[in-house]
A and B are shown apart, each in its own frame.
Chain A
Amino acid sequence: MDARITLRVDGRDRSLTVDTRTTLLDALRDHLSVTSPKKGCDHGQCGSCTVLLDGRRVVSCLTFAVAHDGADVTTAEGLVQEGEPHPVQRAFLEEDGFQCGFCTPGQICSAVGMLEEVKAGHPSRVTDDLTGPVTLDDEEIRERLSGNLCRCGAYVNIVAALREEADS
């Protein structure tokens, strides 16, 4: 059953007709040719399809596009502003935070969303004082990005990239 929806994707309004069964991930990739969100597991276990949906990181494979008519979606591609990489993207480059690159767009969207959560003072499982300020140390970075798997094992440099971000 088809539905007509509009999504704002990486700053552009896009109207499309989707079968209700189409996930947000498939709508982006197959209908709009926005291929930076990757299909890894397609079951919400790997995080490679992570996008920012109305500013918050989510996995785009576990939600139907029809449920997001009017939503604002930012993918890793949309984080680039006027040809300049986002600071998190630059940090991944500088610290060599990837190998094959397949998980990287999801890692980066997840990291950008995570940094906003830290800025808002959200604790994590490893935060000692639930009501105190959050210090984004390596343990916090690892915990907060545990929803993004990297089968090349670039974790050490991903943590380094985000440590650099946390310090800046």
Chain B
Amino acid sequence: MIPFEYLRAGDPAEAVAAVAGRPGAAFLGGGTNLVDHMKLGVARPDLLVDVSRLPLDRVEETGSGLRIGAAVRNSDLAAHPLVRERYPVLARALLSGASGQLRNAATTAGNLLQRTRCPYFQDVTTPCNKRDPGSGCSAIGGYTRYHAILGASEHCVAVHPSDMAVAMLALDAVVIVLGPAGERALPLADLHRLPGDTPQRDTVLEHGELITAVELPDLPFARRSAYRKVRDRVSYSFALVSVAACLDLDGGAVRDVRLALGGVAHKPWRAALAEEALLGATVTEEAFRRAAEAELAAARPLHGNEFKVPMVRNAIVATLRDLAEEGR
């Protein structure tokens, strides 16, 4: 690990100025991903600006939803009474991620900005376009069990590892970002990017921009929502695939639906095609399956992760079926 300076920021503007003014600087939240990457040589900041103690640790009602401070710990967010009551999909997603110890440290913004768990990205002895642009992709033709089936490129097939972000995407979350030029609001759907030919960039944020909050709009039917995570080990492991869903029924038909997928792409994946197919559809497993297949028509699995296509389809069907039965 290279030597670094440490600065505990007094307020968000000071933190932004400190990082924006120095190319080698990085924000430090809970550290559960960044500290590990510094040990591994994947990240080499020469200044850490600690934002974990900024007064961004509250969950507040806004009148039109919920505002979650960037420094709210994953465990506190999952346990928050309003999250449990109004957005069970988010509580469930958070509780399915990592371990009790890690959720006590990890922050909301840090969870969104965690980097891929692609084993080649984390191993500095192997080529990786995300870590070392232009060096090649070791996963293509290599071990691909955990890799993307949607939206990948010839340069990178990594997936975004977050559970929380998948639920927030289904809930139409908006990210509040503070930069040197001021504040902006960004739909979470526009935060993460597909790899294209610049896989080193996970998000659209510029150096020095700081996420200060995540806003969830009011979505009454999210009270009927669920998160299903499929993985090799039942607890404390990353998703092979995951599904976040909110379902609103009108008798035997779908009045409204939100559907997002994890473990399938370089970003949390909003299943817009499946949502479109479901709107107005009669509630049957056949309709759920057709909707899933509409989303998966664009899937391009790799040699070694073909299983993900039927796994996603089945997970979508099972999640929607369970939600529909819950409402009967």
Chain A residues within CB distance 8 Å of chain B: 1, 3, 19-21, 23, 42-44, 47, 50, 56-59, 62-64, 66-67, 110, 113-114, 117, 120-125, 130-131, 142-148
Complex CA gap A67/B78 in Å reads 24
Candidates B4, B102, B236; contact of A20 at CB < 8 Å: B4
> In the complex the two chains form, is A47's CB within 8 Å of B79's CB?
no
What residues of chain A lie closer than 8 Å to B95, measured between beta carbons? 123-125
Name the interface residues of B25-76: CB closer than 8 Å to any CB of A. Answer: 28, 30-32, 35-36, 38-40, 48, 50, 52, 75
Given contacts A67-B28, A122-B78, A147-B98, A62 and B91 within 8 Å (CB-CB)? no
> In the complex the two chains form, is B79's CB within 8 Å of A58's CB?
no
Complex CA gap A117/B75 in Å reads 9
Closest residue of chain A to B35 (Cβ to Cβ) is A62
Closest residue of chain A to B97 (Cβ to Cβ) is A125
What residues of chain A lie closer than 8 Å to B99, measured between beta carbons? 47, 146-148
B96 is an interface residue with CB less than 8 A from chain A: yes
B307 is an interface residue with CB less than 8 A from chain A: no
Least CB distance, A60 to chain B, in whole angstroms: 9
B21 is an interface residue with CB less than 8 A from chain A: no
Closest residue of chain B to A114 (Cβ to Cβ) is B100
Candidates B36, B84, B96; contact of A43 at CB < 8 Å: B36
> In the complex the two chains form, is B6's CB within 8 Å of A20's CB?
yes
Given contacts A21-B3, A121-B79, A122-B78, 20 further A-B contacts (CB under 8 A): A3-B6, A20-B6, A21-B4, A43-B36, A44-B32, A56-B75, A57-B100, A57-B101, A59-B101, A59-B102, A62-B102, A64-B6, A67-B8, A67-B31, A113-B100, A122-B79, A130-B85, A147-B98, A147-B99, A147-B236
Q: How large is the interface on B (under 10, 10 to 19, 20 to 34, 35 or more residues)?
A: 35 or more
Of B28, B98, B236, chain A has the most CB atoms within 10 Å of the CB of: B236
Of B31, B98, B104, chain A has the most CB atoms within 10 Å of the CB of: B104
What residues of chain B lie closer than 8 Å to A130, measured between beta carbons? 84-85, 88, 91-92
> In the complex the two chains form, is B6's CB within 8 Å of A67's CB?
yes
Complex CA gap A31/B242 in Å reads 43
What residues of chain B lie closer than 8 Å to A42, measured between beta carbons? 39
> In the complex the two chains form, is B105's CB within 8 Å of A125's CB?
no
Complex CA gap A49/B202 in Å reads 31
Complex CA gap A114/B104 in Å reads 11
What residues of chain A lie closer than 8 Å to B101, measured between beta carbons? 44, 47, 50, 57-59, 110, 113, 147
> In the complex the two chains form, is B4's CB within 8 Å of A1's CB?
yes
What residues of chain A lie closer than 8 Å to B30, measured between beta carbons? 63
What residues of chain B lie closer than 8 Å to A3, measured between beta carbons? 6
What residues of chain A lie closer than 8 Å to B325, measured between beta carbons? none
What residues of chain B lie closer than 8 Å to A21, measured between beta carbons? 1, 3-4, 38
Complex CA gap A42/B35 in Å reads 10
> In the complex the two chains form, is B5's CB within 8 Å of A1's CB?
yes
Given contacts A1-B4, A67-B8, A131-B81, A62 and B100 within 8 Å (CB-CB)? no
Complex CA gap A54/B176 in Å reads 29
Closest residue of chain A to B83 (Cβ to Cβ) is A130
B235 is an interface residue with CB less than 8 A from chain A: yes
